[in-house]
Amino acid sequence: MPSGHAGNANLGSLRPVSSGVASRRAQLAALYRDTIACGEAARQWFDGPGRDWRAAQSPVAQAQAAMESLAVTARLLAVMNWLLDPANAQRAESDELLPLSALSHDDVLAFGDDHPLAATPGGAIARTSRQLLARAQAICALNGDH
């Protein structure tokens, strides 16, 4: 599933963070683009075909899908909030390697193959949102003092 103009990430197979491959600024820029792309894909699917798909599911599956949709939003907002923190923006531009601010967002990163969304585009979006949160946490760990 291509992400469109916001980034070139293939949802579901985003590259992991590497401390030696790109600058911190480049890592943050890529994370920003990928987060925007995932958010756009989530909006298009969960508000479009995913809504019809969910309506045809059992009440339990509908609830699980709705909860995951909210969790995707929460993950993406946590990453975007962290990226847009003025302290991080200033530190990413600085020549000094000042530590980035902490990112605290507890989330269950497991997403089982038995989840109702697993075989849908919503499943790829849910997995990608988890990868984005994990990437942000890894960047934070590599560039923080926590």
pLDDT digits (tens, 9 = 90+) for 106-139: 776 678 889 999 999 999 999 999 999 989 988 8
Percent of the chain at pLDDT exceeding 90? 50
Please determine, for residue 90, whether its predicted confidence score (pLDDT) is greater than 70: yes
Domains of the chain, each with CATH number or no CATH = 22-142 (1.10.8)
pLDDT digits (tens, 9 = 90+) for 1-30: 333 333 344 444 445 444 445 677 888 889
Alpha carbon dihedral 20, 26, 31, 32, in 10-degree steps, equals 170
